[in-house]
């Protein structure tokens, strides 16, 4: 198994130079309509960068990307990275204040956007004084709103190529904005070497240059962009870009494109498992699915589709600090600590917790520029998150004796009931295992006895009716008594940020649903000594 290269080699330009020296005519990128060899991708990316330079994009300046998955998107961000422009990817679900905040906070002067997002940009343009140019992908009427210059994509992509800029590993590569579950999104300042280190699996056996990597996750997100596209470049593999994820069409793409490696969310695996079984489930070339978090029954997923699963954990601020080899995965794990990072699990007293106990994950890089440089324009938030050289992640983990890490919860979402610590993440997994439940969120609400009572907010699958008693019986059979929610609320949908993170702060109010069922008021009392059932007619 190889190791990551020396720090000075961890830049986008050096990655491209190695790929061009290895196989310039190999297919680097493909989608449903077109493909690019490594030589073509390099040329097209720099041509786009040349066009952007005419609009004022320059080394060190930020430019926004509000684009759907496509080779154009890939060439655009590669061109920015190769020419030194700092990319600011924008979630394509953003609108209104979410969109205005990111464009205003980053200070972008140029935004690359799909034509069908123009109305959203125009609606908030007066709130973003820095924004001057919008490069439009797709047909538009050519009318520019006051203060904005609209430029057709074709006017940019056919430009004379920009000269690649040789950059240092610590130079700024991207602003990656957080999800903003409890407040405004923060711009994470990403150095070149952090993006490279996140993307690389050179410390694992797969992928290799022979692989074809599928990207069905959004490229505006670091998992799709870096752990998919950039990883393919680093390993000199071929990358296939899909518009999005389709459970019903997924395996057709895998077979027709010869896909051997992919990265997916655990929820994607769950949806694929829910598809009807087929005689050709095993007839596919996929051999590795890197998954975060792991699906609830990843072993069944491996067996049904004839592949191996590997775990990974990372976040914008720290990069990918855990991974592991496929084939030896333990349920619920996030992987082992990667070389180059020092990890601690720290209790409320500031001391490291022993194996098996839960603590907050702190991360310290052993190689410079492999974690964030801070939060953009937020020195106080940067200081709060990076104390004594350690980044405090806010994520709770436990570690086993073999060194595997297991995510248990966000620290702010952890609960304490009757003297017992409760992981909302673990309770949600069991709630979601009920056949009627599409998804759920578990939060703490004030108890008359102090500490927390547990509330489960549930979205039902189509065709199912609310049955709080039946769901509670399901949970009683599978959870310790102190983890069974007292309150159950049914809602049409969970409140989420545009990046699909559940806004649990909005669910903690007892007014977050029209009706809340109280297990104890219904006569189902659970205690350490046993169950008391006071329901009428119960036995």
* Per-residue pLDDT tens digits for 369-382: 999 999 999 999 99
DSSP state of 135: E
Q: Give yes or no for a contact between 427 and 485, defined as CB atoms under 8 angstroms apart.
A: yes
Q: Is 492 helix (H, G, I), strand (E, B) or coil?
A: coil
Sign of CA dihedral 54, 117, 248, 434: positive
Average per-residue pLDDT for the chain: 92
129-138, 140-149, 188-197 — which is least confidently predicted?
140-149
- The confidence band for 183, taking pLDDT boundaries of 50, 70 and 90, is low
The number of angstroms, rounded, from the C-alpha of 508 to the middle of its chain's C-alpha atoms is 24
pLDDT at 128: 96
pLDDT at 479: 85
pLDDT at 225 over 70: yes
- Which of 86-95, 243-252, 492-501 has the highest average model confidence (pLDDT)? 243-252
pLDDT at 451 over 70: no
Global confidence as pTM: 0.84
User: Quick one: which of 360, 256, 253, 370 has its CA closest to 319?
Assistant: 370
Model confidence pLDDT, tens digit, residues 49-60: 999 999 999 999
The domain made up of 414-533 is a member of CATH 3.40.50.720: no
- The confidence band for 537, taking pLDDT boundaries of 50, 70 and 90, is very low
Burial of 508 (0-12, 13-18, 19+ CB in 10 A): middle
Sign of CA dihedral 418, 423, 425, 431: negative
Q: How far is residue 433's CA from residue 439's CA, in Å, rounded to a whole number?
A: 9
The rounded percent of the chain whose pLDDT value lies above 90 is 77
pLDDT at 529: 63
């Amino acid at each position: 198994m190889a190791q990551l290269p020396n720090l000075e080699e961890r830049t986008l330009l050096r990655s491209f130079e190695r790929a061009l020296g290895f196989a310039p005519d190999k297919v680097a990128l493909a989608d449903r309509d077109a493909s690019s060899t490594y030589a073509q991708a390099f040329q097209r990316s720099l041509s786009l960068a040349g066009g952007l330079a005419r609009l004022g994009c320059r080394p060190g300046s930020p430019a926004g990307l509000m684009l759907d998955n496509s080779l154009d998107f890939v060439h655009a961000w590669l061109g920015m990275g190769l020419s030194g422009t700092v990319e600011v990817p924008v979630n394509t679900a953003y609108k209104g204040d979410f969109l205005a905040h990111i464009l205003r906070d980053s200070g972008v002067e140029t935004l690359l956007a799909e034509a069908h997002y123009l109305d959203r940009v125009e609606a908030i343009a007066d709130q973003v004084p820095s924004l001057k140019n919008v490069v439009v992908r797709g047909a538009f009427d050519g009318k520019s709103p006051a203060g904005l210059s609209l430029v057709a994509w074709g006017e940019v992509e056919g430009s004379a190529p920009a000269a690649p800029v040789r950059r240092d590993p610590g130079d700024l590569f991207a602003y990656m904005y957080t999800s903003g579950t409890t407040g405004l999104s923060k711009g994470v300042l990403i150095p070149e070497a952090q993006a490279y280190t996140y993307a690389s699996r050179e410390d694992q056996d797969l992928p290799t240059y022979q692989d074809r990597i599928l990207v069905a996750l959004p490229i505006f997100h670091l998992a799709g962009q870096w752990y998919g596209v950039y990883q393919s470049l680093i390993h000199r593999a071929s990358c296939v870009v899909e518009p999005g994820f389709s459970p019903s069409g997924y395996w057709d793409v895998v077979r027709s494109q010869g896909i051997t490696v992919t990265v997916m969310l655990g929820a994607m695996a769950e949806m694929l498992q829910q598809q009807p079984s087929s005689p050709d489930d095993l007839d596919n070339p996929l051999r590795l699915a890197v998954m975060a978090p792991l699906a609830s029954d990843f072993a069944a997923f491996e067996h049904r589709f004839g592949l191996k699963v590997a775990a990974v954990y990372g976040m914008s601020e720290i990069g990918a600090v855990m991974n592991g080899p496929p084939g030896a995965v333990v349920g619920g794990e996030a992987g082992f600590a990667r070389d180059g990072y020092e990890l601690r699990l720290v209790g409320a007293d500031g001391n490291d917790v022993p194996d098996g106990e839960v603590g907050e994950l702190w991360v310290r890089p052993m190689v410079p520029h492999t974690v964030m440089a801070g939060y953009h324009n937020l020195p106080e938030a940067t200081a709060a998150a990076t104390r004594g050289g350690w980044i405090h992640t806010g994520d709770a983990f436990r570690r086993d004796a073999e060194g595997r890490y297991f995510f248990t919860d966000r620290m702010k979402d952890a609960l304490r009931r009757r003297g017992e610590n409760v992981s909302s993440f673990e309770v949600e997994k069991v709630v979601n295992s009920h056949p009627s439940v599409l998804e759920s969120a578990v939060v703490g609400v004030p108890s008359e006895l102090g500490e927390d009572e547990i509330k489960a907010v549930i979205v039902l699958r189509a065709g199912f009716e609310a049955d709080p008693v039946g769901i509670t019986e399901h949970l009683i059979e599978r959870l310790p008594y102190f983890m069974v929610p007292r309150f159950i609320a049914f809602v049409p949908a969970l409140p989420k940020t545009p990046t699909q993170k559940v806004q649990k702060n909005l669910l903690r109010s007892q007014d977050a649903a029209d009706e809340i069922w109280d297990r104890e008021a219904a006569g189902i009392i659970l205690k350490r000594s046993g169950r008391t059932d006071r329901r009428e007619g119960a036995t």
